[in-house]
Structure 1
């Protein structure tokens, strides 16, 4: 499945036509800011098919991380399953914002450390019971990484077959910002001090531990900069892998992905390392306040739609940006008569 992946360049002529249509309906001095470019980008990525209206679906990938035991997060690993339970009740912030964005939500267990078979709302796709401790060796094997990527690809293909024309990233897994910092450091060839952020709002003591964990992981594994699959195997999480697979499959089908916060951006970096052309089918929802976010977005050449100071993750920023995209497309259709 991964071996057969082919991604075409999007049709730039569609983008030019949409921008020309915007210019034809705006009076002198009228300025819709980012909206013309946003609609042009989206319609280019979808070969113009997105003009019929947005049908977004969030794939919320869940996975646990072996480095959680070091106390790198403000929360214990049990919070992963507590949050997944909340998604089933529809009471989490991710649910509320997805509903406002008109997005469906599919919760996927790609690699949590919990038995979720009693959760009827969860797709059971567990590759392993969490990743390995990457301070002692690779987080996952090559075969496990490919299996997780292909899980994301399969589910993305399913929702696209059912009419989805915009994928949305969501993720849950306590300690995943530590793996994200390790992915960014490994891929960009940066020291841990330049990629480790406060994630869930950790104090200075936990920040030192988190930085040292990433530093040790880099030293032990020596990931190859720019090699998405190698970095994923050595430093990543199953949540990252599922999201990266989703983005790759969407790009191959001309269905863009709305990227959420720093964890989803790390997944986007993995996907880019596997096939750089997939970045042509990415939209960046917002600028995460975490340290490595801006550095990764520069490599991906993505610009945030909003600057809202958000750092919750779980697809919340992506849902906010989808609401803006929907308004932009509605405005374009009504003004141009398309």
Structure 2
């Protein structure tokens, strides 16, 4: 499905399904609204899917894997070859996020959307062998940015057809906190220093190089703050674009998609700027340890559930939300109602 067709398919959340879910919560034999965000997420999922019955047992983490030309500027602690190594580790189940996924019944489905080399990860949605160095010109063409967005949309379409009812966004790409900080700085109109952290363990000198590279990229490319696709193309990455496409696809196809941390939040903001309605379909998981994370969540109008000081990436924070959500769904689906136990129902008091 093209980007234009996807945007045309995005509609408001299903209010009737949400009302039914809310009434179900109110009928359960417990104080009103006492499970807080557990209740809110279930109601939101009902609105996303158009169904007050929960069907989220089949779930997947989709790490978008891509390389970034800006690593030439010395903005990372490790080399670009690590992207391919970790991407293949997703297939063998040997990453932190994979271990977490096994604990909560989640399949890991990595996507090569733009790695510098081909690996055992499927390449049918690959846009190019990494982006260009954004300090010397645009990271990608606008056409490539749209293609990467459509790759994310396509993944959601495929997974819905395969019966998946809940998706988590993830990423792997050395240098992607640099691209994410650049996009965030432009879209939020905030200083680069405020948007930029140490990523995967940079030294003070490394952080300074990173900030300098981002400033240089923004100065050279002059991304248009009012055009999220232009910002994505000039200073973003294929992994960010793929995740943004997943958020758009989730809204179009009625599939709940969970935001991970800093990089995923940047992708979510791009999707929301492309189509504001998309924001209603996103579920926030955690507040990343990266310095700009809370500003991004604020811009998205989201409140995260978890505050664990995590900054691993890969989708680990999104997956960490699943057990919390599962407990809420268990209460929603199996708890006795006030009618069942012959007790008067709580009433909403002003």
TM-score normalised by length of structure 1: 0.94
Q: CA RMSD, aligned part only?
A: 1.7
Alpha-carbon distance in 1 for matches of 2:104, 2:30: 30
| CA positional deviation for 1:307 | 0.8
For the pair 1:64 / 2:74, whether they are aligned, the reply is no
Counterparts of 1:273-312 in structure 2, within 5 Å, are: 273-312=273-312
Tell me, what secondary structure is at the counterpart of 1:306?
Answer: coil
For the pair 1:108 / 2:92, whether they are aligned, the reply is no
Alpha-carbon distance in 2 for matches of 1:100, 1:10: 31
Q: Residues 139 and 162 from structure 1, CA distance in 2 versus in 1: closer, same or farther, beyond 3 angstroms?
A: same
| Counterpart contact for 2:20–2:52, Cα < 8 Å | no
Alpha-carbon distance in 2 for matches of 1:74, 1:39: 40
| Counterpart contact for 1:188–1:226, Cα < 8 Å | no
| Counterpart contact for 1:74–1:202, Cα < 8 Å | yes
Tell me, what secondary structure is at the counterpart of 1:54?
Answer: coil
Residue in structure 2 matched with residue 166 of structure 1 by the alignment: 166
Indicate which of 19, 27, 37 corresponds to 1:34. 37
Indicate which of 86, 89, 113 corresponds to 1:86. 89
| Counterpart contact for 2:66–2:112, Cα < 8 Å | yes
Measured against aligned partners, the alpha-carbon deviations of 1:273-326 in whole angstroms (never above 9, x if no partner) come to 211111110001100011221111111111102111110010111111022111
Alpha-carbon distance in 1 for matches of 2:332, 2:236: 40
Alpha-carbon distance in 1 for matches of 2:65, 2:276: 25
| Counterpart contact for 2:33–2:39, Cα < 8 Å | no
Counterparts of 1:105-144 in structure 2, within 5 Å, are: 105-116=108-119, 119=120, 121-144=121-144
| Counterpart contact for 2:18–2:52, Cα < 8 Å | no
More off after superposition, 140-149 vs 30-39: 30-39
| CA positional deviation for 1:64 | 0.5
Tell me, what secondary structure is at the counterpart of 1:51?
Answer: coil
Alpha-carbon distance in 1 for matches of 2:30, 2:323: 25
| CA positional deviation for 1:30 | 8.5
| CA positional deviation for 1:34 | 2.0
For the pair 1:2 / 2:10, whether they are aligned, the reply is no
| Counterpart contact for 2:183–2:231, Cα < 8 Å | yes
Residue in structure 1 matched with residue 102 of structure 2 by the alignment: 99
Residue in structure 1 matched with residue 77 of structure 2 by the alignment: 74
Larger Rg: 2
Tell me, what secondary structure is at the counterpart of 1:305?
Answer: coil
TM-score normalised by length of structure 2: 0.91
Q: Residues 196 and 256 from structure 1, CA distance in 2 versus in 1: closer, same or farther, beyond 3 angstroms?
A: same
| Counterpart contact for 1:266–1:296, Cα < 8 Å | yes
Alpha-carbon distance in 2 for matches of 1:308, 1:141: 37
Alpha-carbon distance in 2 for matches of 1:266, 1:22: 33
More off after superposition, 141-150 vs 170-179: 141-150
Task: Tell me the matched-pair count.
Answer: 334
Residue in structure 2 matched with residue 208 of structure 1 by the alignment: 208
Measured against aligned partners, the alpha-carbon deviations of 1:161-216 in whole angstroms (never above 9, x if no partner) come to 11111121010000100000001011112221121111112121111111111111
Residue in structure 1 matched with residue 346 of structure 2 by the alignment: none
| CA positional deviation for 1:17 | 3.2
Counterparts of 1:6-25 in structure 2, within 5 Å, are: 6-25=9-28
Tell me, what secondary structure is at the counterpart of 2:77?
Answer: coil
| Counterpart contact for 1:45–1:256, Cα < 8 Å | yes
| Counterpart contact for 1:53–1:329, Cα < 8 Å | no
